[in-house]
Amino acid sequence: MSATATYTVQYFAALRERRGLREESVASGATTAGELYAELQARHALVLEPAQVQAAVNGRMVPAAHRLAPGDVVLFLPPVAGG
């Protein structure tokens, strides 16, 4: 982890229901999308493991290893089942 940066975090579907928020501003030392989710999972008792969650940064789907920049908008999505 590095110096603290602020990100806008958005939650979707079951994550939004569990967190009780659609969006929040988060100060974190995380440097990747995966690190940020793991930190939030521990902080807020989110039930989905990091490997189960997809991330989008600034409107683009990214891998967990995607490096974050201060001010990024990070959306976390749970697995989606279709039929």
pLDDT in tens, 10-44: 999 989 999 999 999 999 999 999 999 999 999 99
Contact 71, 78 (CB under 8 A): no
Contact 44, 54 (CB under 8 A): no
Residue 59 contacts by C-beta under 8 Å, 6 or more apart in sequence?
A: 73
Structural domain of residue 63, as residue ranges? 5-77
Whether 83 is covered by a domain: the verdict is: no
Whether 82 is covered by a domain: the verdict is: no
What is the predicted pLDDT for the residue at 2? Answer: 57
Instruction: Report how many domains make up the chain.
Output: 1
Element (H, E) at 38: helix 33-44
Whether 18 is covered by a domain: the verdict is: yes
- Residue 40 is part of a domain; what is its CATH number? 3.10.20.30
What is the predicted pLDDT for the residue at 1? Answer: 46
Mean pLDDT, the chain, rounded, equals 92
The burial of 68, by beta-carbon neighbours within 10 Å (0-12 exposed, 13-18 middle, 19 or more buried), is given as: buried
Whether 63 is covered by a domain: the verdict is: yes
